């Protein structure tokens, strides 16, 4: 869960760049889309204004089918296709797609904190909010699992909203809320959970919990750390006693915490260091 700088691209420029890739054989489509440019730009302004204050849930979804008209003479399917065909697949707007995807440092997914970015996630899904299909601030770099896992879900209340890497206040990323617990199993296992700071307001607490659930992080994180636990076993075997193992894990936890408060590494190493069972013998179980 990592914060990103908001794209500097303007919606009007991005939309027109996508339309420029439409073949002359589809002149009618291009003209109909050009006719709703002002509508697209105004919708983008409303999106950004609401995102700044955490009220994107107030935007009403479009409930019509793909052949239903959303705005002007343009259907839902046509608006969605501006993204899937004229941004993802075709130049010149494919360059914009790549630029947005590369906003994530190291190509690490900001939504889960460990996946490799391969695509863009529509924060508000284009199937329900087609006006935002190519809105830069609605397109978040993501790994495949985060992009497909939440499918077409969208928030209906303030507390249901998952984190928005472009807009949410820094404390939702810099204050630790992701933690883990060691399970005394053979081999050892770890359960991740959310515990937001006491001083946070209720909506913020609910939002990090919603993010944790919506992207299926409890399951994905627990599976993801399996290899780390396996390699740690051999690393800790070189340390002679429980105290030295605990100190070593505390050092790793501190380094992870300094880098990213809500990384799986931070939560994992903290939990392992706090587990007397793991430091004493658990690391070698299994």
Q: Domain end: 120, 155, 190, which one?
A: 155
- Residue 220 sits in the same domain as residue 104: no
Segment 66-83 mean pLDDT: 97
> Quick check: is 275 in a domain?
yes
Domain span including residue 29: 11-155
pLDDT of residue 152: 60
113-143 confidence digits (pLDDT tens): 999 999 999 999 999 999 999 999 999 999 9
- Cα gap 282→237, rounded to integer Å: 11
Residues 218 and 138 in one domain: no
Averaged confidence pLDDT in the chain: 94
Q: Which residue has the tokens 């939560």?
A: 267
Q: Establish if 1 belongs to a structural domain.
A: no
Distance of CA 73 to the CA centre of its chain: 33
Largest CA distance in the chain: 75
Last residue in a domain, options 107, 127, 155: 155
Angle at 126 between CA 121 and CA 131, to 5 degrees: 120
Q: Based on the domain organization, do 128 and 218 belong to the same domain?
A: no
Sign of CA dihedral 128, 131, 133, 135: negative
Could you tell me what percent of the chain has a pLDDT over 70? 99
| Shared domain check, 257 and 196 | yes
Domain count of the chain?
2
Q: Which residues lie across from 153 on neighbouring strands? A: none
Residue range 27-55, pLDDT digits in tens? 999 999 999 999 999 999 999 999 999 99
Tell me: pLDDT of 151 over 60: no
The pLDDT value given to residue 286: 60
Give dist(CA 265, CA 228) in Å, integer: 9
Decide if 162 is inside a domain.
Answer: no
* 177 plus 147 within the same structural domain: no
Q: Are strands 178-183 and 139-142 parallel, antiparallel or unpaired?
A: unpaired
Q: Which of 155, 186, 209 is the last residue of a domain?
A: 155
Backbone angles phi, psi at 74, to 5 degrees: -110, 130
4 domain-assigned: no
Closest CA to 224 of 182, 268, 284: 268
Residue 50 lies in a domain: yes
The verdict on 181 and 270 lying in the same domain is: yes
Tens-digit pLDDT profile for residues 256-286? 999 999 999 999 999 999 999 999 999 988 6
Tell whether 165 is covered by a domain: no
Q: Number of helices and strands (H, E) in the chain? A: 13, 6
Domain presence at residue 163: no
CA distance 30 to 25: 10
Residue 48 and residue 135 in contact, taking contact as beta carbons nearer than 8 Å: no
Q: Per-residue confidence at 153, pLDDT binned at 50, 70, 90?
A: confident
In a domain, 179, yes or no: yes
Q: What is the pLDDT of residues 225-247, one digit of tens each?
A: 888 898 898 889 888 899 999 99
């Amino acid at each position: 869960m990592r914060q990103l700088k908001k794209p500097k691209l303007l919606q009007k420029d991005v939309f027109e760049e996508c339309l420029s890739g439409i073949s002359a054989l589809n002149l009618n489509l291009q003209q109909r889309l050009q006719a709703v440019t002002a509508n697209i730009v105004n919708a983008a302004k409303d999106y950004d204004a609401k995102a700044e204050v955490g009220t994107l849930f107030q935007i009403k979804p479009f409930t019509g089918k793909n052949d239903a008209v959303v705005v002007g003479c343009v259907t839902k399917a046509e608006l969605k296709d501006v993204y899937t065909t004229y941004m993802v697949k075709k130049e010149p707007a494919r360059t914009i797609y790549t630029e947005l995807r590369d906003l994530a440092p190291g190509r690490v997914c900001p939504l889960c904190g460990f996946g490799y970015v391969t695509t863009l996630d529509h924060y508000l899904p284009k199937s329900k909010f087609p006006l935002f299909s190519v809105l830069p601030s609605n397109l978040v770099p993501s790994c495949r699992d985060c992009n497909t896992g939440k499918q077409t879900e969208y928030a209906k209340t303030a507390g249901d909203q998952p984190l928005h890497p472009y807009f949410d206040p820094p404390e939702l990323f810099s204050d630790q809320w992701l933690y883990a617990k060691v399970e005394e199993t053979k081999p050892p296992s770890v359960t991740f959970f959310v515990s937001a700071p006491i001083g946070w307001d209720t909506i913020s607490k609910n939002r990090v919990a919603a993010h944790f659930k919506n992207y299926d992080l409890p399951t994905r994180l627990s599976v993801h750390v399996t290899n780390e636990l396996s390699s740690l076993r051999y690393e800790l075997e070189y340390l002679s006693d429980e105290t030295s193992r605990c100190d070593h894990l505390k050092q790793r936890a501190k380094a992870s915490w300094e880098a990213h408060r809500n990384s799986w590494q931070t939560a994992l190493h903290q939990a392992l260091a706090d587990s007397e069972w793991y430091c004493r013998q658990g690391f070698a179980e299994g």
